[in-house]
Structure 1
Amino acid sequence: MSATQTNKEAEALMQSALQRQMHQDTVGAAQDYRRVLELDPRSTRAWYGLGVIDQQTGRTTNARAEFERALEIDPHFISALYSEATLLRSSDPERAIELMKRAVTEEPKTTAIRLQLGLLLAEKGRKSEAEEAFRGAVAVDPKLVAQVPEEYRDAVSR
């Protein structure tokens, strides 16, 4: 099979996996993602898709490994950074903070990640860093001030 044919087949399988996942067919989607990886072991989207499915179905160890694999291939993959951070939020908050900070560095206008980073930093008592994250989110979207914890609102409204 030529490289062009392989790429076309991998893309068709990727589209099938996304459709199946959208329709809650996680088994079929996972099969398609694995077939994509047989054709293209460096498909960050397939690794990420498997990670999402495993995260949704409670296989967090697998999910983390799949997100990590996607990040080994593309360290700037924001979705994988954020998903792994969310996965690690309670078990390894320091690693979650590190991943969210990387995601914010990659995409400074991602208000949702900035807001979640601020919340996690606030939970960990890192007030000045939390204020900075909340300020960044509100600077991009002033409507988010309502989602900032009350104790931080004055600091972000200045």
Structure 2
Amino acid sequence: MTTWAIQSPSAAPSDARVPSAVRADQNPDVLLQTALLQMQKFHDTDGAAGTYRRILKLDPHNKIAWYNLGVIAQQKNRTTDAREAYEKALKVDPEYTSALFNEAIVLRPSEPDRAIVLLRRAIAAEPGAATAHLQLAQILAEKHRDDEAAAEFRHSVEADPSLRSQVPERFQDSVGSSPTSSQEGSTR
């Protein structure tokens, strides 16, 4: 299963942003840092999920908390819960690429057409999202939409040449030849 990583807050809160009357356990930014530690350092997904729920009581529009609850649910194969959490993150930010991608992965087996729509939205929000191009290409190939699949495989490998090995044999010609040593160092 492919998912994007747990999201961390973009920056720690500055003292100027946190009123002195607000305790650390009531500050969503501090709680996001706590949940991240619970997940990454202590591997405590249940504790992190509880912390994310506390954040959502303080800030129901916290897309990072919704997203990370989705990731935890997805890791535990609770696809309905994951999908609901991703949908709530997307209500806050309809272009939240990570949530679009992960929800597409959840939906891929049961609703591939919906997954295609979500992946196209993720790519529109972040055109260089190589893994999103790859996932979209794989779904299109499964649906025998070979021309579209070939184009997406090509975009995927252009954005991240290391994904070439994941391109099925029948689409290898569509991604072009392997980069030469002089091209590998280019940043195009």
Q: CA offset at residue 113 of structure 1?
A: 1.2
Q: For 1:39 and 1:142, locate their aligned partners in 2 and report how far apart those are by CA, in whole Å.
A: 43
What is the number of residues matched between the two proteins? 156
| 2:14 corresponding residue in structure 1 | none
| 2:124 corresponding residue in structure 1 | 105
The yes-or-no answer on 1:64 pairing with 2:83 is yes
| 1:32 corresponding residue in structure 2 | 51
Q: For 2:142 and 2:81, locate their aligned partners in 1 and report how far apart those are by CA, in whole Å.
A: 27
Max radius of gyration: which structure? 2
The 1:7/1:145 distance shift into structure 2, 3 A limit, reads farther
Q: For 2:176 and 2:49, locate their aligned partners in 1 and report how far apart those are by CA, in whole Å.
A: 45
Segments of structure 2 that go 5 or more residues without pairing to the other structure are 1-16, 178-188
From 144, 148, 158, the counterpart of 2:163 = 144
Q: CA RMSD, aligned part only?
A: 1.8
From 75, 78, 86, the counterpart of 2:94 = 75
| 1:54 corresponding residue in structure 2 | 73
For normalisation by structure 1, the TM-score amounts to 0.91
The yes-or-no answer on 1:14 pairing with 2:14 is no
* Greater fraction of residues in helix: 1
Deviates further, 6-15 or 69-78? 6-15
Partner SS for 2:43: coil
Identity of aligned residues (%): 47
Q: CA offset at residue 7 of structure 1?
A: 9.8
Q: CA offset at residue 57 of structure 1?
A: 1.4
Q: For 1:141 and 1:103, locate their aligned partners in 2 and report how far apart those are by CA, in whole Å.
A: 16
For normalisation by structure 2, the TM-score amounts to 0.78
Q: For 2:98 and 2:161, locate their aligned partners in 1 and report how far apart those are by CA, in whole Å.
A: 24
In the TM superposition, what whole-angstrom CA distance separates every residue of 1:36-72 from its partner, at most 9, and x where no partner exists?
1111110000001111111111221111111000001
Segments of structure 1 that go 5 or more residues without pairing to the other structure are none
